[in-house]
């Protein structure tokens, strides 16, 4: 089985978010970038397929040279080969079309992407990719088993979960649950050394029209001070008469 894990390079979850150039772009000053958490769960599940079922695992990302440390980390965790599509990711549809080219030429059976990236939160790349390639697709995937050509996935739904049976080739939008938080791997020295020997292929993007454009960003208005109360009666009174939520 040939697996492609799609990786997004995102600000660490603890990052404070600011905007630069008159609010027209994300201010990366002092921001630590990481593998998108939803993608990291998928990458870790891919490593399981590699170790237990002999799958080969490639990773791909759309980004300029500044994303290489993140993709090197994926190699240090154990991916066999990395592909970087040399362009700033312009929007979700743009990214999906770039990745579709990689999947087409690479002949992958399984594509694992994250349910959404924690920066732009589009949540559209896996579904678009599956549609462009006419592959099966399961989103918010929290469990995945593959036996031969058959795949059994569990996806999270509002208020529960659903088991889905389908076949390869398949694209999933993964998230926590694909593996447990405690299964995530920190690259060791050997992994980091080996990653340096692995191939990081840089390919040029195909020409694609962007359909959406973030013109301006701003931050939520500053919040007023908390109103502290000492009794539950006061709280109920405020929730009923002031906030009008009960």
Partner 1 sequence: MSVLVYTESENGKFKKSAFEVASYAFEVAYQMGTTVTAISFNANENDALGAYGVAKVLNVTNDKLKTFNAKAYAQAIVEAVKKESAKVIVVSSSTDTKFLAPIVAARLSAGYVPNVVAAPESVSPFMVKRTAFSNKGFAHTQIDSDLKLIGVSNNSFGVKENKVATATEAFSPTLGEGDFSALSVEVDKVVGKATIADADIVVSGGRGLKGPENWGMVEELAEILGAATACSKPVSDLGWRPHGEHVGQTGKPVASNLYIAIGISGAIQHLAGVSASKTKVVINSDPEAPFFKAADYGIVGDAFEIVPKLIEKLKDFKAKNA
* Binding residues among 77-96 for partner 1 as defined by CB under 8 A: 91-93, 96
Name which of 4 and 172 has its Cβ closer to partner 1: 172
Structural tokens at position 174: 């993964």
Give CA separation, 129 vs 81, 84, 103, 169, in Å: 20, 17, 9, 12
List the x/- string, 17-36, binding to partner 1 by CB under 8 A.
x-x------x----------
For partner 1, the binding residue among 1, 124, 192, 203 (CB under 8 A) is: 124
Contact call for residue 174 and partner 1 (CB under 8 A) = no
Please report, as residue ranges, which positions from 92 to 121 form the binding site for partner 1 (by CB under 8 A): 92-93, 96, 118-121
* Least distance CB 171 / partner 1 (angstroms): 10
For the chain, how far is it from start to end, CA to CA, in angstroms?
54
Cis peptide before 132 (omega within 30 of 0): no
Q: Report whether the peptide linkage leading into residue 173 is cis, meaning its omega lies within 30 degrees of zero.
A: no
Task: Show contacts with partner 1 in window 129-158 (CB under 8 A).
Answer: 130-132, 136-140, 142, 155-158
Residue 29 or 230: the one with the smaller Cβ distance to partner 1 is 230
Q: Is position 239 an interface residue for partner 1 (rule: CB under 8 A)?
A: yes
Nearer to partner 1, 63 or 126 (CB): 126
The three-state (H, E, C) secondary structure of 36-60, written as one string: CHHHHHHHHHHHHHHHHHCCEEEEE
Q: Which of the residues 178 through 197 are near partner 1 (CB under 8 A)?
A: 180-182
Strand 33-35 vs strand 9-11: parallel, antiparallel, or unpaired? antiparallel
């Amino acid at each position: 089985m040939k697996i492609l894990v799609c990786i997004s390079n995102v600000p660490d979850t603890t990052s404070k978010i600011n905007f630069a150039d008159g609010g027209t772009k994300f201010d990366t000053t002092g921001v630590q970038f990481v593998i998108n958490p939803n993608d990291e769960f998928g990458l870790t599940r891919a490593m399981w397929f590699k170790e237990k079922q002999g799958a080969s695992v490639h990773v791909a990302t759309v980004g300029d040279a500044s994303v290489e440390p993140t993709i090197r980390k994926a190699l240090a965790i154990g991916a066999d080969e990395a592909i970087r599509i040399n362009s700033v990711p312009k929007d979700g549809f743009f990214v999906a079309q770039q990745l579709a080219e990689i999947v087409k030429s690479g002949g992958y059976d399984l594509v694992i992407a994250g349910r959404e990236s924690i920066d732009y939160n589009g949540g559209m790349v896996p579904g678009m990719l599956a549609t462009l390639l006419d592959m099966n697709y399961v989103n918010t995937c929290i469990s995945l088993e593959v036996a031969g050509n058959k795949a059994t996935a569990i996806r999270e739904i509002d208020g529960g979960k659903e088991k889905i049976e389908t076949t390869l080739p398949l694209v999933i939008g993964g998230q926590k649950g694909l593996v447990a938080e405690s299964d995530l791997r920190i690259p060791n020295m050997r992994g980091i050394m080996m990653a340096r020997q692995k191939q990081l292929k840089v390919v040029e993007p195909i020409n694609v029209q962007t359909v959406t454009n973030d013109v301006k960003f701003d931050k939520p208005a500053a919040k007023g001070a908390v109103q502290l109360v000492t009794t539950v009666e006061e709280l109920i009174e405020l929730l009923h008469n002031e906030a009008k939520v009960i």
